[in-house]
Amino acid sequence: MRDTADPILQQSDEVAEALAAGAPVVALESTIISHGLPQPRNLEVARELEGIVREAGAVPATIAVLDGVARVGLDEAELERVATEPGLRKLGQRDLPVAAALKASGATTVSATSFLAARAGIRIFATGGLGGVHRGWTQDQDESADLDTLARTRITVVCAGVKSILDVPATLQRLETRGVTVAGYRTDTFPGFYLHSSGEPIDWRIESPEQAAAIMRGQDSFGGQESALIVANPVPVDRQLDPVLHDRVLAEALAAAEREGVTGQAITPFLLGYLVRGTGGASLEANLAAVRGNTALAALIALRWAER
C-alpha cells in the first residue's frame, strides 16, 4: 500500500511511517541507476546503497517518477523497473509537471530529487557529484539546473563535489552568490569528484555528522532564504582516480567534444562516457567509491538530525 493522498507524489509505506515517526530518512537519486551504470550492476548498486542506509539505522528513499507519479521510496519491483526499463527519461525539476501531465516515467537528477525529497519532508540527500557551471560558460552560458534548485531548496546534500568535467571555481563562486552553504567534511579543499581534491579552497570545514546537523538546525533557526547545505565529502585518496590519468583523459575528452560539436545536455554524458572508456572503467569505480561514502555519511547525519 502507498499513501495516495497526493495524486502526483506518493511515499512508500516505509518512508511515510518513518517520516511520521521522526525517524531518519535519506533520499537517493535514481539517475545513477537508469543512466549511470550498465545492467545488471546498476540494480546491484541500487540495492547496495539502500543497504548502506539501513545498516546505519536509517530508511532509504530512492526517488523516481513512474507513470507520472513521483515515487518517494521504491519497492523491489519499482527499483527493478528503473534499472531495466528501456527509454526511461532523465528528469530535472522543470520536467516534473510535464511528466505528471503526460504520465511519463523517468529517473530523477539532483535537482528533481532535491525538490521531491524536500517536498516529501526529507532533509538529507546522498549523491555522487553535483552539476554546475560548464567550462566555456562565457560563450554558451551552460549551467546545471542543480544550482538554481539548491539555491531555493532547504535540503542537505552529501556529495563528492561537482563533476570534474565542469568549471569548479566558477561553480563555487555561483554557489556563494546564490547563498548555498558549502562545508568540507574533514577537508579544507573542495573534492574533485573522481579525485580527493580539486585544489580549490572552501571556507568551512566540519569534523562530524553532529556538526552537520547543528548547521541544519542553525539554518532553520535563522530563517531567511530556503537554500541548501552542501556537505562536500571527498573520495578517499586510496580510492580516487589516478590524477595524471584523470587529467590526460579529460583533456582528450574535451578536445573530442569540441571536434565533434557536442554541446548542451549531450556534453555531460559524452564526457563521462569518454572518461569511463579512457580510464578502463577506473573513473566508474572512483565514482562508486564516492557514492558509497556519501551514502554512509548521509545516513549518519540523518541519525543526528532525527535527535532534534
- Nearest alpha carbon to residue 170 among 152, 150, 147, 154: 147
Burial of residue 39 (CB within 10 Å: 0-12, 13-18, 19+) is: exposed
Residue 217 near residue 308, CB atoms below 8 Å: yes
Dihedral sign, CA of 235, 241, 242, 244?
negative
Q: Is 142 annotated as a binding residue?
A: yes
Backbone φ/ψ region at 285: left (φ over 0), alpha (ψ -120 to 50), beta: alpha
The set of long-range contacts for 256-265, using a CB threshold of 8 Å and a minimum separation of 24, is: 263/140, 263/142, 264/142
Cis peptide before 38 (omega within 30 of 0): no
Residue environment code for 217-242, b if the CB has 16+ CB neighbours within 10 A, otherwise e: eebeeeeeeebbbbbbbbbeeebbbe
Joined together, the cell numbers standing for residue 116 give: 521531491
- Nearest alpha carbon to residue 236 among 196, 206, 207, 198: 196
| Residue from 163, 176, 207, 210 carrying the catalytic annotation | 163
Active site residue 163: yes
Q: Is 208 annotated as a binding residue?
A: no
Q: Is 110 annotated as a binding residue?
A: yes
Q: Is 133 annotated as a binding residue?
A: no
| Residue from 14, 29, 76, 307 carrying the catalytic annotation | 29
Active site residue 29: yes
**Annotated active-site positions, please?**
29, 163
Which residue positions form the known binding site for Mn(2+)? 142
Q: What residues are designated binding site for substrate?
A: 90, 110, 144-146
Annotated binding-site members:
90, 110, 142, 144-146
